[in-house]
Amino acid sequence: MASERESFDLSGPLHLTNVFWDNSNHRMAVAASLVQGVYILERDRQEKREGSEALAPPWWTFFQFQLLRPLVDDVDSSLFGAIYEFRPSNSQQNDTLYRSPRYVIAFRGTLTKSHSVSRDVELDIHFIKQGLHQTSRSEIAIQAVRNMIETVGDSNVWLAGHSLGSAMAMLTGKTMAKNGIFIESFLFNPPFVSAPIERIKDERVKHGIRFAGSVITAGLAFAMQAKQSKDLSVDPFAALAAWVPGLFVNPCDHICSEYIGYFEHRRKMNDIGAGVIERLATQNSLGGLLMSAFGKESEPLHLIPSASLTLNVTPSRDFKEAHGIHQWWKADLRLEHKLYNYT
């Protein structure tokens, strides 16, 4: 039986009858709805809901998008992504289409249903072990994005994802950015591989833990780079700095809240003259360094140079609400925005 949260008429952003694409909250709500459309696409497949019984289509048709094609996992045949095409009506005024996309490539997160949970959890583990880039699902996602950009250009494409899906969007966005292609991205509740330091209330203790972690990480990174005879003046973040993905984070969600401290700690370290230490620390993770020491390849997706960080500071009833995709299209959100440009 379908849940209320799957029905657009019961839980979707019905207040967005007119989308103004230069409004950041409208763009956020539409991107989140398209990600929800991928979740419901897979649920429709699992429940064999077709035709008039399918619940997914309203999540994109309400905003005048069409489903170009779904992205299918080659292991369990689950639908993990979708490519949407924006098809506005002829009556829509051109000025309301400013900053609208032509195509959106969206990725869902983990579904805790028996049909797909084992594959999704397997990919969650790959992310934690910093090996998501080595999975076949990521190869399918990257190729889909690459093909779309080659066809229509990067300025016409958005990336969007939630949770594990935002990690997939992060991977594809970073991959493109390394080649000088910067895609507008909406990453909802992106996972951060770290202890939940942000939940510590004492600011001095929190800063002390982060400072010690930065020193240790930077020291290990320096030692390993020197041992491998790498050019220590090369900044791997430099090529990525122009890509400024939108990160949508709830401070009560320990899966993504560490992004708040990640960027603020970098700013504080620069303020106290410890920018050199933080430059090494912010580009490396302890887990990734340990894996490299044992000769294993890793890609710490959660480490990025720049971001437009949006915080939902609206009180959340529980973790499920704080991590959920539904929060990002509510009409009465209390949001805080911060822009972090890497220098």
Residue 218: pLDDT above 60?
Answer: no
The answer to the question of residue 170 being in a domain is: yes
Q: What is the number of alpha carbons within 13 Å of residue 1 lying toward its C-beta?
A: 2
The CATH number for 192's domain is: 3.40.50
Q: Which residue has the higher pLDDT, 326 or 286?
A: 326
Q: Which domain holds residue 58?
A: 4-197+236-273+296-340
pLDDT given at position 98: 72
The answer to the question of residue 189 being in a domain is: yes
281 membership: H or E segment, kind and range: helix 275-282
The answer to the question of residue 203 being in a domain is: no
Between the CA atoms of 137, 139, 144 and 148, what dihedral angle is there, to the nearest 10 degrees? 150
For the stretch 256-300, pLDDT in tens is 999 998 888 777 666 655 556 656 656 665 555 455 555 565 567
The answer to the question of residue 328 being in a domain is: yes
For the stretch 32-58, pLDDT in tens is 999 999 999 999 999 999 999 999 999
Residue 222: pLDDT above 70?
Answer: no
- pTM listed for this prediction: 0.86
pLDDT given at position 276: 60
- Residue 114 banded pLDDT, cuts 50, 70, 90: confident
pLDDT given at position 197: 67
Structure tokens at 261: 């401290």
Residue 129: pLDDT above 70?
Answer: yes
Q: Which residue has the higher pLDDT, 266 or 84?
A: 84
Determine how many CB atoms are found less than 10 A away from the CB of residue 22. Answer: 12
For the stretch 192-216, pLDDT in tens is 987 666 676 666 766 666 656 666 6
User: Reduced to 3 states, what is the DSSP secondary structure of residue 85?
Assistant: strand
pLDDT average, residue stretch 6-30 = 95
For the stretch 162-187, pLDDT in tens is 999 999 999 999 999 999 999 999 99
% of the chain residues with pLDDT over 90: 60
The answer to the question of residue 227 being in a domain is: no
Backbone angles phi, psi at 266, to 5 degrees: -60, -45
The answer to the question of residue 42 being in a domain is: yes
**Contact assessment for residue 81 and residue 71, using Cβ atoms and an 8 Å cutoff:** yes
Please count the structural domains in the chain.
1
Order of strands across the sheet that contains 157-162 = 65-72, 79-86, 103-107, 157-162, 184-188, 246-249, 307-312, 335-340
Q: Which residue has the higher pLDDT, 93 or 24?
A: 24
The answer to the question of residue 120 being in a domain is: yes
Residue 230: pLDDT above 80?
Answer: no
